Structure 1
């Protein structure tokens, strides 16, 4: 886990143009469920619709923050090399053999903000808060 710079990405469709899951995807989803189940990851990973709302440069990363009491989530953009929010929570698959992903079959696209309650919160540990 941790910081991972994002290589140049193929452009994603805007949310309004992205096609969600439909009946024609049933076989794909069943195959994916079988693979997740085989590796003991059925209750660990799911699907998300890859899409863009605005450009994110190759040296940037989306960061998720949340407010537990208000039950809200917010996503913002930070420089990947300097963010302290290093708990990845969403990944994008990369084609097999694609060298752009630093040897991984995935690239991190969203990281959690450690200051907002994610595990490993250094700010809370320094302040003595629970």
Structure 2
């Protein structure tokens, strides 16, 4: 389902096709009463594994399609309190990043997890003042 590289098991990328299958933000149904039981169960599983402070939940959606050689990268300017997410070409753009958002698919946990967004570090490995 997702690209899994056994030589680097921490690098899991969703393909542009998989991301294009996400629902457009204009068509996504907002959080509603039918979601609360599911979210409570997710919370309970995270709590059971001591991961409530590490993982959360996001509403999967897209604003635009990505090219097959692109991924989304988040840049942060702490001083200005601005975050920017933009498409970058795969490869060198990911050398100094950390995966921050994933899609959870069916099957083996390693092969069914796909990163959909990365957070960029500056040359010192910090997030502050990276993007101006």
Is the structural similarity TM-score above 0.5? yes
TM-superposed CA distance for 1:2, in Å, is 5.7
The CA RMSD measured in Å over matched residues stands at 2.5
Equivalents in 2 of 1:60, 1:94: separation in Å?
20
Q: Partners in 2 of 1:79 and 1:54 — Cα distance? A: 15
1:9 paired with 2:44, answer no
Structure 1: which 5+ runs fail to align?
125-130
- 1:105 deviates by 2.6
Q: State the distance in 2 between where 1:54 and 1:9 align.
A: 13
Query: Which residue number corresponds to residue 128 of structure 1?
Result: none
Higher relative strand content: 2
Structure 2 spans left out of the alignment, 5+ residues: 1-8
Normalised TM-score (structure 2): 0.75
Equivalent in 101, 113, 126 of residue 120 of structure 2 = 113
Q: Residue 72 in 1 paired to residue 82 in 2?
A: yes
Which consecutive segments of 4 or more residues in structure 1 shift more than 2 A? 1-8
TM superposition score normalised by structure 1: 0.76
